[in-house]
Chain A
Amino acid sequence: MAHRPRLAVWKFASCDGCQLTMLDCEDELLAVADALEIANFREASSAVVEGPYDLSLVEGSITTPEDAGRIREVRAQSRTLVTIGACATAGGIQALRNFGNVEEFQRVVYARPDFISTLATSTAIRDHVPVDFELRGCPISKVQLLEVVSAFLTRRAPNVPTESVCIECKRRGNVCVVVARGTPCLGPVTQTGCGAICPAYHRGCYGCFGPMDSPNTDSLIRNLGYLGMPPEDIRRVFRTYNAGAPAFRAAGDSVGGKETGR
């Protein structure tokens, strides 16, 4: 193949789990590597081909002044830029600093905070550069990642639904954990894609794919209250892996009760 598109995988503040998802495609990895030239993927290869790149997958959030500059360089070298995972699309769990005081955080974690350079916030990639597609999840789904790569190769839009986890949960034939067990669940406001695994394991959804398209969080907050969740707990469930996603941020901020700061 003369002109295989060049793939680059970039990391910002993150756990590496979303790029590991690519290596977790055990049955498809070698086929992906046939279709795309793995030109820059440091976690998997020490060979680096210079840009520009046809497809860049970006993992992680922007938390340092250096990274705020680096993402602009990545964008400049990338024809198509796809962000992967809750860190890149919403700031990740580390966006909890946005609700606290980062200088105080540094003192708590590091005895010599002066050795650390960091920003006061953890922000999504699209807050810094234009993004061509955002793939949600903490972590992303293997199936959706392969769909995004296939769509890129065939020059079509990725088929990644933005409906709620509830729809997928019904299709899977799960018994509703809210109705049957009274278990608080973020499924009604969370974007599908995980396979509705939490309810399938008798657990309420905890929102790791972030808000669905047009979520009715006000209604869900009332229902979580009926199920007996104290306001502090309701605020905490919105302030986890997608705390920086606008709809979840607003939902958490809207809940009354004692403000714990996190």
Chain B
Amino acid sequence: MTERTIAVDYLARVEGEGSLHVKLEDGRVDHVELRIFEPPRFFEAFLRGRMYTEAPDITARICGICPVAYQMSAVHAMEQAYGISVRGALRELRRLFYCGEWIESHALHVYLLHTPDFLGYPDAVRMAKDDPETVKRGLALKKAGNALMQLLGGREIHPINVRVGGFYRVPSVEELESLRPTLESALEIAEETVHFASGLPFPDAEEDYEFVALQHPDEYAMNEGDIVSSRGLRVPVSRFDEAFERAPVAYTHALQSVRKGGTPYLVGALARYALNGPRLSARAKSIAREVGLEPVVRNPFRSILVRGIEMVYACEEALRIISAYRPPESAWVEPAGTFHGGVGAAATEAPRGLLYHRYRLAADGTIETAEIVAPTAQNQKRIEEDVRHVVERSLALDDAHLTDLCERAIRNHDPCISCAAHFLHMEVERT
């Protein structure tokens, strides 16, 4: 029996600490383990006893890359518990805020983390020595997303302006209008990004994903909708537990999410595009057609194109919201009536996919239990399948090239290990 091991001890260009271990026996993949060794930080434990108003800021600290997502899932969950309905301009401002995080996070992944893989560079800084214009374009796009978060949130990382019911302070028409030139130029860069990405060399891959995302009847879902899948699942967010289960696994600090019955599923840009593509803007759809992007993308290496399309959409959507903006009378909505305690659950679309929060609150508003399911914890098992298939297709490669391809298969999904452990380190073992 011949054994072969492929190992990546510390995955690079992902957020957080993880490793990969692949073991081959007689040329067959025996197992793939995506190991998350990021130390656990016990958010769900220390949230107990904190006020419901503290959850948006505290849970933001789970992830410095997608704090807005944590804040949005937290406020929507609390508002559900308190029966608060946030409509009109406040609802639109939240969508605008999320557009900022999608643009910033996608630009970071597309230009600084993912593109170097296709062009054979270890990082964007070294890529910039040969092609400064491409990297500068990416940084400009990223900066536009950050400008939105800075204005609406006070700062880009762990914004300070989100509260249950709305915001502490809402922007004036003039403040939002000041971002128009930046966003108009970002929209052009986002379009160039899709065209640029369409010219990259993509390895062959065809994965049979069960895609899972929020779906809203009228819009490309960000903050609201039912949870739907490409295999017919449709449940309200409050019934998340009926559709999904989570299991502790010895080799990873993150609980692995699966569909009830044990099958893996995929959340994130590929899932949103497959399920909600018809709800994209006319312009985003037409650019997707121009570059020959299929309506359902099953090659994960092509996710870079989908992120590009989502950036086009987010820039357009931001400009639409700014054009229609009239400041609301109040910056936030107060809870009405006496609170007797209760449960609130919400899911929103983080750049990396569905982010679920559920809280049980006491009558005085303190948190009794908290449950948080991050996108990468949901994708973990499905990413292992991707790696397995990449290895099976590429057995003839030497260890170095095979390892490189495995790392790329992981990076395709923009994993955020800090979130998942509340994830990675690789070894390929060949027997």
Bits for A88-113, please: 1 = Cβ < 8 Å to B, else 0: 00001110110010101110111110
- B154 contacts A15, CB within 8 Å? no
- B41 contacts A197, CB within 8 Å? no
> Is A151 in the interface zone, CB < 8 Å from B?
no
- B161 contacts A26, CB within 8 Å? no
- B168 contacts A94, CB within 8 Å? no
> Is A77 in the interface zone, CB < 8 Å from B?
no
- A261 contacts B49, CB within 8 Å? yes
Q: Which residues of chain A come closer than 8 Å to B43, judged between CB atoms?
A: 93, 109
- A38 contacts B123, CB within 8 Å? yes
Q: How large is the interface on B (under 10, 10 to 19, 20 to 34, 35 or more residues)?
A: 35 or more
- A17 contacts B155, CB within 8 Å? no
- B154 contacts A197, CB within 8 Å? yes
Q: Which residues of chain B come closer than 8 Å to A262, judged between CB atoms?
A: 46, 48-50
Return B103 CB to nearest CB of chain A, in Å. 12
> Is A56 in the interface zone, CB < 8 Å from B?
no
- B155 contacts A194, CB within 8 Å? yes
Of the listed stretches B140-148, B184-192, B296-304, B321-329, chain A binds B140-148
- B46 contacts A105, CB within 8 Å? yes
> Is A227 in the interface zone, CB < 8 Å from B?
no
> Is B16 in the interface zone, CB < 8 Å from A?
yes
Q: Which of B62, B154, B167, B169 has the most CB atoms of chain A within a 10 A radius of its CB?
A: B154
Q: How large is the interface on A (under 10, 10 to 19, 20 to 34, 35 or more residues)?
A: 35 or more
Instruction: Report Cα–Cα, A94/B47, bound state, in Å.
Output: 11
- The total of interchain contacts (Cβ-Cβ below 8 angstroms) comes to 197
Bits for B40-59, please: 1 = Cβ < 8 Å to A, else 0: 11111110111100100110
Q: Which residues of chain A come closer than 8 Å to B154, judged between CB atoms?
A: 197-198, 200-201
Instruction: Report Cα–Cα, A118/B425, bound state, in Å.
Output: 18
- A16 contacts B15, CB within 8 Å? yes
Bits for A109-128, please: 1 = Cβ < 8 Å to B, else 0: 11110011010001000000
Q: Which residues of chain A come closer than 8 Å to B45, judged between CB atoms?
A: 97, 100, 104-106, 108-109
Instruction: Report Cα–Cα, A116/B64, bound state, in Å.
Output: 23
- A43 contacts B14, CB within 8 Å? yes
> Is B418 in the interface zone, CB < 8 Å from A?
yes
- B418 contacts A110, CB within 8 Å? no
A16-B16, A203-B161, A261-B49 known; A44 and B42 CB under 8 Å? no
Q: Which residues of chain B come closer than 8 Å to A110, judged between CB atoms?
A: 40, 248, 255
Q: Which of A43, A48, A97 has the most CB atoms of chain B within a 10 A radius of its CB?
A: A43
Enumerate chain B interface residues (CB-CB to A < 8 A). Answer: 10-17, 38-46, 48-51, 54, 57-58, 61-65, 67, 108, 112-113, 116, 122-126, 128, 132, 135-136, 139-140, 142-143, 146, 154-158, 160-161, 163, 167-169, 247-250, 253, 255, 331, 366, 407, 416, 418, 422
A67-B39, A112-B248, A201-B169 known; A42 and B12 CB under 8 Å? yes
Return A101 CB to nearest CB of chain B, in Å. 9
A15-B418, A97-B46, A202-B168 known; A64 and B39 CB under 8 Å? yes
- B42 contacts A43, CB within 8 Å? no
- A197 contacts B155, CB within 8 Å? yes
Of the listed stretches A27-35, A154-162, A165-173, A215-223, chain B binds A27-35
Instruction: Report Cα–Cα, A12/B41, bound state, in Å.
Output: 11
Instruction: Report Cα–Cα, A194/B155, bound state, in Å.
Output: 9
Q: Which of A18, A64, A116 has the most CB atoms of chain B within a 10 A radius of its CB?
A: A116
Q: List 20 A-B contacts (CB under 8 A).
A: A11-B17, A13-B41, A15-B61, A15-B62, A15-B418, A16-B64, A16-B65, A17-B157, A19-B64, A20-B15, A23-B112, A30-B125, A43-B12, A45-B13, A48-B12, A93-B61, A111-B247, A112-B250, A197-B154, A240-B54
Q: Which residues of chain B come closer than 8 Å to A122, judged between CB atoms?
A: 41
